[in-house]
Amino acid sequence: MDGRIDVRNLSKSFGTFRAVDDLSFSVEPGRITGFLGPNGAGKTTTLRMVLGLIKPTSGTATIGGTPYTQLTHPISTVGAALEATNFHPGRTGRDHLRVIASAAGLPDSRADELLTLVGIPAAARKRAGGYSMGMRQRLGLAAALMGDPKVLILDEPANGLDPEGIRWLRGFLRHLASEGKTILISSHLLAEVEQTVDDVIIIANGRAVRQGTIDELRGEKRVRVLSPQSDRLARALSDAGLQVRPAEGGGLSVIADETAQIGEIAYRAGVPVHELHSERADLEQLFFQLTENTNRNLGDPAQGFAAPQEGGR
């Protein structure tokens, strides 16, 4: 089993409401894929269809070629954490994990191993009702990792985590991806996962509006340079074989990986430089453009998607 998640023409209607509309994507092993969209875009419904909890109106979702409900060892194949509230408040964290261990035929010792792994060993004997949001997220992650699965599906895993927790989660997911696991995480905040994910799938209104690597989304790396002698500098940069265009708000925008390269060209041309920095594509802005005006939960009819822009400005 290669651990690829394959979603083909997946649709789900609740009555007349089309929650997910002809969605297709695949999630590759060894990479972290962000599943992004505003609240109500259909992310959770899609993940629940992948996990066999919701029956699709049409289309298929498979994991390593098999629908979730037909996996022989589901817990050891796919780990999922869907909501931070999925615990009986009167059951301790350790007992919660032991229930899963017994259902999956795993030894009880896995429970304590996992609590240590996610950094909440002290919570073992505490009833889950008394957990903080951060502890719930970690217990959910521990449950997902019980069977050492090849595939991880996490719904809004960063919700409720403090900055330290988010940094911990980021490093933890990196480590898991380096072991070759397939990781799919959903979020309604691109900024939250921007530094974590390799690939992105952006959905709005139940449809995919953008798919690709995060680098593709960002577009080319650019360097912005401000000089009192813009024309001379532009010529020097063009002569060096670089693509230059005037930047919004003054100065020049150059396609280049390093600021040092630009600084050296300016120095050789004898042009003074007042400002020099690498430009980051404003992904949050892009995300907003892709998904704006589409929030059907606000009662605003979708008025055509903003045309997908090339990354960067």
Partner 1 sequence: MGTAIKAEVRKLLTTRLWWGMAIAVLAAGALLALLMASILNETPNPEQQAQGQPAMTPLQIATSTYTSGSAFGYVLLMVIGIMTIGSEYRHKTITGSLLAVPHRSRLIAAKVIALLAFGVLYGLIFLIGSVGAGATVLSIRGLEVFPEPGTLLRSLVLVLLVLGLWALIGLGLGVLITNQIAAILVGVGVAFIVEPLLGVLVSQVSWGESLAKYFPSRATNAVLQGYAQDGSTNQLSWWAGALVLIGYAAIMVAIGTFLTERRDVT
Number of residues counted as binding partner 1 (CB under 8 A): 35
Q: How far is the CB of 130 from partner 1 (least distance, A)?
A: 14
Site string for partner 1, 92-111 (x = CB under 8 A): x--xx-xxx-xxxx------
Q: Please, which residue, 87 or 287, has the CB nearer to partner 1?
A: 87
- Report how far residue 221's alpha carbon sits from residue 257's, in angstroms, rounded to the nearest whole number: 6
Q: Which of 4, 18, 52, 219 binds partner 1 (CB under 8 A)?
A: 52
Torsion angles phi and psi, residue 202, rounded to 5: -110, 125
Contact 25, 275 (CB under 8 A): no
- How far from chain centre, in Å, is Cα 207? 17
Region from 45-53, 156-164, 185-193, 206-214 binding partner 1, contact rule CB under 8 A: 45-53
Q: Which of 216, 231, 239, 188 is nearest to 308 (CA)?
A: 216
Q: Which of 10, 20, 61, 82 binds partner 1 (CB under 8 A)?
A: 82
Contact 153, 145 (CB under 8 A): no
Q: Please, which residue, 12 or 224, has the CB nearer to partner 1?
A: 12
- Under DSSP, the state recorded for 205 is T
- Report how far residue 215's alpha carbon sits from residue 97's, in angstroms, rounded to the nearest whole number: 38
Region from 51-59, 174-182, 286-294, 302-310 binding partner 1, contact rule CB under 8 A: 51-59
Structure tokens at 193: 């996962």
- Under DSSP, the state recorded for 108 is T
Region from 84-92, 163-171, 265-273, 289-297 binding partner 1, contact rule CB under 8 A: 84-92
Q: How far is the CB of 170 from partner 1 (least distance, A)?
A: 25
Q: How many CA atoms does the CB half-sphere of 142 hold within 13 Å?
A: 32
CA distances from 236 to 240, 242, 265 (A): 6, 9, 7
Q: Does 75 help bind partner 1 (rule: CB under 8 A)?
A: yes
- Under DSSP, the state recorded for 150 is S
Q: How far is the CB of 146 from partner 1 (least distance, A)?
A: 9
Q: Does 80 help bind partner 1 (rule: CB under 8 A)?
A: yes
Q: Does 39 help bind partner 1 (rule: CB under 8 A)?
A: no
Contacts with partner 1, residue ranges (CB under 8 A): 45, 48, 51-55, 68-71, 74-75, 78, 80, 82-83, 85-92, 95-96, 98-100, 102-105, 143
